[in-house]
């Protein structure tokens, strides 16, 4: 079998690139935002923060908050007709 080269951030140079105005320090309110179960959220990656990052395949998908696990939230999404649950840090979420 062939050994796979690279990890989760492989081939994401342009996908994770920020706009010029978005560069710099991340606001503390993005870190501390809170959600309750049932809220609809949009998955938007913050490339400067690696903790609680989901796979880039799910970027831009709208999901529903199921609960909280530690500092991260459980987000239920529909991926090609199959239900999946992601653990996502609040810095990577936006209210939809």
Instruction: Give 54-63 contacts, CB < 8 A, sequence gap 24+.
Output: 54/86, 54/87, 54/88, 54/92, 55/8, 56/8, 56/9, 56/12, 56/15, 56/16, 58/86, 59/15, 62/96
Distance CA 23, CA 48 (A): 9
pLDDT in tens, 51-62: 999 999 999 999
Average pLDDT of the chain to the nearest whole number: 93
Residue 8 has pLDDT above 90, yes or no: no
Query: What pTM was computed for the model?
Result: 0.88
Domains of the chain, with CATH numbers?
34-95 (2.30.30.70)
The pLDDT assigned to 7 comes to 86
Kindly state the average pLDDT of the residues 61-82: 96
Residue 4 has pLDDT above 90, yes or no: no
């Amino acid at each position: 079998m062939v050994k796979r080269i690279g990890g989760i951030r492989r081939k994401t140079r342009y996908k994770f690139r920020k706009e010029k105005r978005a560069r710099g320090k991340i606001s503390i309110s993005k870190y501390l935002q809170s959600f309750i179960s049932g809220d609809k959220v949009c998955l938007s990656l913050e490339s400067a923060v690696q903790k609680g990052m989901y796979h880039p395949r799910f970027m831009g998908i709208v999901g529903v908050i199921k609960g909280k696990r530690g500092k991260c939230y459980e987000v239920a999404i529909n991926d090609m007709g199959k239900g999946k649950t992601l653990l996502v840090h609040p810095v990577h979420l936006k209210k939809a």
